Amino acid sequence: MQDRAPDNRPYFFLSYAHTPPWGPDGGDPDHWVRVLYNDLCGHIMALTDLPAGCPVGFMDREMRSGEGWPEKLSENLASCRVFVPLFSPRYFSSEMCGREWYAFHERMLNARTTGTATASAIVPALWTRVDMRELPDSVRHIHVENTSSGGRYLSNGIYGLIKLSRLRDEYDETVFGLAERIVQAARESGLPPGRPRDYESTPSAFKPRGTGPRHIRLTVAAPTEDSVPEHRDARPYGDDALDWNPYHTESTRALSAHAEELIRSLDYRVTVAAFDDEHPVEEPNGSGERQPGILLVDQWALSDEERRSRLKTFDAYARPWVSAIVPRCRADLQNHGEQGRRLAEELERVMPTILERARRSDTRIAVNGVPTLKSFTRVLPEVVAYTTRQFLKNAEVRLPPGPHVPRPRLADPYPSSGPDTGDDPGGEA
Please provide residue 155's backbone torsions phi and psi, each rounded to the nearest 5 degrees.
-85, -35
Residue 222: closest CA among 302, 318, 118: 302
- The model carries a pTM of 0.79
CA–CA dist 223, 229 (Å, integer): 8
Please provide residue 327's backbone torsions phi and psi, each rounded to the nearest 5 degrees.
-65, 130
CA–CA dist 348, 336 (Å, integer): 16
CA–CA dist 164, 222 (Å, integer): 59
CA–CA dist 20, 32 (Å, integer): 14
**pLDDT, one tens digit for every residue, the chain (429 residues):** 445 455 678 899 999 999 888 767 767 889 999 999 999 999 999 999 888 888 899 998 755 555 678 899 999 999 999 999 999 999 999 999 999 999 999 999 999 988 888 889 999 999 999 888 888 888 888 877 765 555 788 888 999 999 888 888 899 999 999 999 999 999 999 999 999 999 888 999 998 766 666 899 999 999 999 999 889 999 999 999 999 999 999 998 999 999 999 999 999 999 999 999 875 444 443 334 578 999 999 999 999 999 999 999 999 999 999 999 999 999 999 999 999 999 999 999 999 999 999 999 988 999 999 999 999 999 999 999 999 999 989 876 554 555 555 555 555 555 554 444 444 444 443
